[in-house]
């Protein structure tokens, strides 16, 4: 146990009383604090929010296109459109792909994302969403990134709110947190993102929240960022959440450098290790506290065992099942598939109670 003079004593007191954690305190947790004490504090916070219950969703990831004109330095998935393996799925192909898994695995959430494909009008998305909703009425569409929404807005000369409203009318239920990375303009420059895209992410999410549409939040770490950037990122999420309570969950995930421009240029040679993953999970839980009560384990980029450790360090949602995801494998990292039964067994083996949820985090079944 730490002494009263240890900054962690004050951080723990704040976390248990619901007080906000300062930027300086967050930086201290990243740079100096004992990892296992952070894990203990984070797990105590989670136990007060959801106890030993850990949720998961029967999910299907649909990467409808890999054509993208953003061309981020950290992405190995995108194609310019002229390559032999560039693709864009038709509405019929999307329906067929979902149909392969929907009934067989009880899919309740569809995470649908691709690239920023300049040839696709708004009608491509609304037609596709309408077709999905008609064929699979119980499937929650968790769709598009802020980058995709931003481009559609510019292409169609519509406001963010108008685009989001049209997407909702056609079946969109929630918006994922992709594109957040790190909000700092300096970091985004190194990542090959537009300098204002961090602010744009927050603006688009705020417009969605104003409309009553729930979204997720993310943070990508382990590249060119510093502790202060991560601290400011988390604080920005808390500040927006206090306005509309629109974020359903938060997922910190570590950058995979394989086959990316950042790796080719020698700026990032290796992925963040397991201890960094656990530190980011614990700090996220302590800072977000009850503001964003769900923190996902991000097992997809770290493996099942690290997913279990993340739960012990404060996460309370496993995320979802995986069937043939394409973005992470583009980096050269093998992902494979993960079915519901495996998630249940992995959670039970660490003393947790699995809870199957839907796209809106409503309980479907306790195991």
Residue 68 assigned ligand-binding role = yes
Q: What is the DSSP letter of 78?
A: -
Structural domain range at position 211: 7-366
Helix, strand counts (H, E) of the chain: 15, 10
Q: Which two tokens stand for residue 316?
A: 């309370």
CB 247 within 8 A of CB 240: yes
Pairing assessment for the beta strands 59-62 and 53-57 based on DSSP bridges:
unpaired
**Does any domain span residue 155?**
yes
Global pTM reads 0.90
Q: How many Cα atoms occupy the beta-carbon half-sphere of 17 within 13 Å?
A: 9
What per-residue confidence (pLDDT) applies to 260? 74
3-state class of 72 per DSSP?
coil
- Please choose, from the candidates 115, 60, 65, the residue with its C-alpha nearest in 3D space to the C-alpha of residue 89: 65
**Does any domain span residue 322?**
yes
By CB atoms closer than 10 A (0-12, 13-18, 19+), residue 92 is: exposed
Task: Give the domain CATH number at 303.
Answer: 3.20.20.70
**Does any domain span residue 240?**
yes
**Does any domain span residue 306?**
yes
pLDDT in tens, the chain (367 residues): 555 558 999 999 999 999 999 999 999 999 999 999 999 999 999 999 999 999 999 999 999 988 886 665 556 555 665 677 788 899 999 999 999 999 999 999 999 988 788 889 999 999 999 999 999 999 999 999 998 999 999 999 999 999 999 999 999 999 999 989 999 999 999 888 888 999 999 999 999 999 999 999 999 998 999 999 999 999 999 999 999 999 999 999 988 877 777 778 787 777 778 999 999 999 999 999 999 999 999 777 778 899 999 999 999 999 988 775 444 444 444 445 688 999 999 999 999 999 999 999 999 999 9
**Does any domain span residue 1?**
no
Cα dihedral sign for 232, 271, 68, 71?
Answer: positive
Residue 72 assigned ligand-binding role = yes
**Does any domain span residue 43?**
yes
How many domains would you assign to the chain?
Answer: 1
What per-residue confidence (pLDDT) applies to 183? 97
CB 278 within 8 A of CB 309: yes
Q: What is the DSSP letter of 192?
A: T
Residue 298 assigned ligand-binding role = yes
Residue tagged 């459109």 (tokens)? 81
Residue 145 assigned ligand-binding role = yes
- Please choose, from the candidates 147, 11, 4, 6, the residue with its C-alpha nearest in 3D space to the C-alpha of residue 71: 147
The C-alpha atoms of residue 299 and residue 308 are separated, in whole angstroms, by 8
**Does any domain span residue 2?**
no
- Please choose, from the candidates 224, 241, 256, the residue with its C-alpha nearest in 3D space to the C-alpha of residue 295: 241
Pairing assessment for the beta strands 353-357 and 363-366 based on DSSP bridges:
antiparallel
**Does any domain span residue 14?**
yes
- Please choose, from the candidates 17, 26, 10, 7, the residue with its C-alpha nearest in 3D space to the C-alpha of residue 290: 17
Task: Name beta bridge partners: 253.
Answer: 220
Residue 74 assigned ligand-binding role = yes
CA angle 281, 287, 291 (to 5 degrees): 110
What per-residue confidence (pLDDT) applies to 154? 93
What per-residue confidence (pLDDT) applies to 5? 59
What per-residue confidence (pLDDT) applies to 132? 97
């Amino acid at each position: 146990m730490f002494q009263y003079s240890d900054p962690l004593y004050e951080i723990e007191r704040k976390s248990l009383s619901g007080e906000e954690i300062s930027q300086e305190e967050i930086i201290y947790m990243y740079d100096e604090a004992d990892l296992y004490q952070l894990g203990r504090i984070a797990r105590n916070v989670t136990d007060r929010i959801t106890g030993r219950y850990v949720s998961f969703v029967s999910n299907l990831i649909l990467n409808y296109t890999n054509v993208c004109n953003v061309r981020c330095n950290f992405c190995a998935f995108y194609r310019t459109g002229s390559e032999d393996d560039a693709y864009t799925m038709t509405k019929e192909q999307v329906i067929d792909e979902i149909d392969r898994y929907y009934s067989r695995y009880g899919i309740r959430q569809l995470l649908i994302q691709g690239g920023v494909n300049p040839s696709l009008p708004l009608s491509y998305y609304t037609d596709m969403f309408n077709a999905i909703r008609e064929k699979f009425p119980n499937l929650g569409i968790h769709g598009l990134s802020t980058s995709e929404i931003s481009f559609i807005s510019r292409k169609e000369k519509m406001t963010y709110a108008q685009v989001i409203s049209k997407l909702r009318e056609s079946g969109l239920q929630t918006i994922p947190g992709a594109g957040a990375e790190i909000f700092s303009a300096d970091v985004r420059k190194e990542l090959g993102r537009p300098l204002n895209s961090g602010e744009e992410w927050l603006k688009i999410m705020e417009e969605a929240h104003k409309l009553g549409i729930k979204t997720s939040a993310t943070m990508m770490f382990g590249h060119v960022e510093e502790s202060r950037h991560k601290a400011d990122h988390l604080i920005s999420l808390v500040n927006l959440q206090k306005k509309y309570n629109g974020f359903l969950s938060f997922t910190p995930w570590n950058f995979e450098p394989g086959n990316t421009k950042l790796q080719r240029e020698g700026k990032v040679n290796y992925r963040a290790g397991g201890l960094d993953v656990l530190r980011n999970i614990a700090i996220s839980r302590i800072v977000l506290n009850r503001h964003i009560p769900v923190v996902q384990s991000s097992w997809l980029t770290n493996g099942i065992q690290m997913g279990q450790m993340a739960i012990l360090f404060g996460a309370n949602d496993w995320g979802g099942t995986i069937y043939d995801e394409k973005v992470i494998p583009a980096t050269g990292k093998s992902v494979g598939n993960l079915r519901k039964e495996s998630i249940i067994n992995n959670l039970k083996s660490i003393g947790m109670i699995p809870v199957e949820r839907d796209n809106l985090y409503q309980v479907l079944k306790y195991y």
